[in-house]
Amino acid sequence: MSAEAQLRQWMIAQGLTHWRVLQTRSGLSRAQMRHLRQGQIGRLRLAEIRALAACLGVGWADIASLEPALALELPRDVALENQLLDSLEPFLRQWPAAVYAVRQRPALPASKLLPLLQPWEKVLSALHLEAVGQVGESLAFDPTHHQSLGEAVQPGTPVRVRYPGYRHRGRLWQRAHVSPLKAEGAHRGHLG
């Protein structure tokens, strides 16, 4: 079965009636959709494959299997790493913001918990995961590495990192979530 035919089956199972609906819900560009329909999954980033898999109600490995050469490139340990990363995603999104809040107010009792979580840094390192941006960091918006929370932001606009992004084995896995510095006050004190 061709990649396009398999995708169509998954779309029907999810009630998605048109390619444009899949494109909108998954956040893929037209070019990425063209690559997808042609079975060129290797041209998509891992985060895009994960978003697509979520829209279609399948695992990322199912999407990767549409391009046999890509499936062969993923050794079993990388597949396991990706499953672990999927499980850790909520923690990876929220924990750095919680750490930042505690560091801003060290008198909070939660600060005593921080040393208990140091082993997580070793686990993340073993998973070949590195952060893209640090919570509270001010930098220029780069749409290839950042995702704006709410309003549209032009490249180069000053922003503050709200939640870090991540690279897995050097490949972008999640963009850092940022907010424009002028809108920063609207997010103050809110971690989620």
pLDDT at residue 86 is higher than 60 = yes
Sheet strand arrangement including 171-174:
129-132, 165-168, 171-174
Task: Report pLDDT for 68.
Answer: 63
pLDDT at residue 74 is higher than 70 = no
Task: Report pLDDT for 76.
Answer: 52
Cβ atoms < 10 Å from Cβ of 132 = 17
Task: Report pLDDT for 77.
Answer: 59
Summary mean pLDDT of the chain: 80
CA–CA dist 123, 146 (Å, integer)? 24
pLDDT at residue 52 is higher than 80 = yes
* Average pLDDT value for residue range 136-149: 93
Task: Report pLDDT for 186.
Answer: 47
- Provide the residue ranges of all domains of the chain, joining segments of one domain with +: 3-73, 76-187
pLDDT at residue 47 is higher than 90 = no
**More confident call, 158 vs 86:** 158
CA–CA dist 53, 34 (Å, integer)? 16
* Average pLDDT value for residue range 95-106: 82
pLDDT at residue 48 is higher than 80 = yes
* Average pLDDT value for residue range 165-180: 89
CA–CA dist 157, 91 (Å, integer)? 28
**More confident call, 47 vs 72:** 47
Q: Which CATH architecture has domain 3-73?
A: Orthogonal Bundle (1.10)
Q: Is the dihedral of CA 40, 42, 47, 49 positive or negative?
A: positive
Q: Is 24 left (phi over 0), alpha (psi -120 to 50) or beta?
A: alpha
